Structure 1
Amino acid sequence: MSTSNTNATLVKLEQAHGTVMIFAWIVFASTGILFARYGRLLRFGEKSKLFGADIWFQMHRSILILAVITTLIGLVIVLVKGDNETVEHNRDKSRLTAHRVLGFIIVGSALLQVGMGLFRCGPQSPSRFIFNWIHRSVGIIAFVFSIPTLFLVASVLQNNQTGLMIILSLWAAWIVIIVIVLEIIKFRCQLMPSTIEIKNEN
């Protein structure tokens, strides 16, 4: 295979890896986490069940399963690519190394989440709070790590770097804004029962 053909294949693998990971973490992971955090509190689908469970939980689980699957696909793609570097790229090796390290931490966290989900204790178990905290912590770590991981690889691109950095920045800002808005709504929802009780007492 000629150098140009090899280089074209490597570029396609890199693009495929990036596309899959963007879907995994910008689309699926962030949406699934929002369902977990706010679906129950905001009473999303509280009057209906889907396969015997609350709709918010089924949405949370299904979307994050997609996140794990796409993450593993992205991992396979980058393993197929190996350590081969595209010819025209003279990129910052330290940033790429940091990207890889964070990426493997994220993949490990995603697999750990799947394992914990499969073997989680029942809702009434005395150990349930331990599972909840570990599950939440690992999920937050994976998601938080995904942000610099995406920015690191975007910073070494030669093509479309500015556009991707803008998209990632807007996405990060959107996550912050939507979390603030939902936290305010959550706070107001939690105040409502107390307000009703006070009115009833009066």
Structure 2
Amino acid sequence: MPSELDLPDLPDPTVLIKLHGTFMVIAWILFSSVGGAVARYFKKTWVTEQYFGGDAWFLYHRMYMFFTWLLTCSGFIIIFIDMDGWQDTAHAILGTITFVLCFLQPILGAASPARQPRKIVRFFHILSGNVSYYLAVINMFLAVGLKSANLPEALYGWIAGGLALHLLAHGAFNVLDYMTRKKTADHPMLDPTKDASYSRWRKLTLMTQIIGLLAFTIVIVVLIWHE
């Protein structure tokens, strides 16, 4: 009789589920959060920098959101392969809605119709981006409760921590925006070729956000793969 040590290792049946979770966490906890912040708060930062004929903030936003889109699409395909079709759960329904919204984002972002319709398209682009982010995070909480995922309950706290850091960063950016508008109102003749007031603090906040979210992402991914 061969001992247990002599038996070959069986493949992990949850490897595709873990890959799905990994891709979604990296996409939404890290890339989507940072990409959204850059688009919302940095239009008057890096004003002297141009890349490929466009503003620096736009390049950074597209870069972060491209990885969000790529990882979300990949994760969606992977889980369908693993589950061999549709699963009638709240997680699957929210995940599909999130995927559809995410898939349409670059189309809405690239659309350039006439002036008035363009404002409407831009509004839906922003709304869809925010809705898809929060749906994705809610779906992560739902995923922890799935028996098939076999995830540790500690993930609830770490996902909540990533969301809290996201909200704190937005709070800090809004305070800086308020201070910038107030200073601009008091000194309307500021040089438009220079970055907006408090841009240094805005960059520092962004760096802190990236480092913090990266740390949360790493811990969550490690817990996903923890045996």
Once the two structures are TM-superposed, the CA of residue 197 in structure 1 deviates from its matched residue by 4.6
In structure 1, what is the equivalent of residue 36 of structure 2? Answer: 33
Counterpart of 1:168 in structure 2 is 159
Q: Alignment length, in residue pairs? A: 179
Identity of paired residues, percent?
24
The CA deviation at 1:119 is: 2.7
Is 1:49–2:50 an aligned residue pair?
yes
* Structure 2 counterpart of 1:184: 175
Separation (CA, whole Å) in 2 of partners of 1:160 and 1:70: 20
Q: What's the counterpart of residue 133 of structure 1?
A: 123
Say if 1:10 and 1:81, in contact at 8 Å, map to a contact too. no
Normalising by structure 1, report the TM-score. Answer: 0.81
Cα-to-partner distance string for 1:114-145 (whole Å, 9 max, x where unaligned): 222233337xx333211221111111111111
**Equivalences for residues 52-131 of structure 1 within 5 A:** 52-83=53-84, 97-121=89-113, 125-131=115-121
Gaps of 5+ in 2: 1-8, 190-227
Which residue pairs with 1:87 in the alignment? Answer: none
SS at match of 1:127: helix
| Counterpart code for 1:107 | F
TM-score, structure 2 as length reference: 0.72
Q: Are residues 1:17 and 2:20 paired?
A: yes
Question: Does the CA contact (< 8 Å) of 1:39 and 1:56 recur in 2?
Answer: yes
Over residues 54-98 of structure 1, what are the superposed CA-to-partner deviations in whole Å (9 max), with x where a residue is unaligned?
Answer: 1111111111011001001001110110259xxxxxxxx9xx811
List alignment gaps of at least 5 residues for structure 1.
Answer: 85-92
1:45: how far off? Answer: 1.2
| Amino acid aligned to 2:55 | D
Query: Contact 2:101–2:129 (CA<8 Å) still a contact in 1?
Result: yes
| Aligned Cα root-mean-square deviation (Å) | 2.3
| Counterpart contact for 1:155–1:161, Cα < 8 Å | no
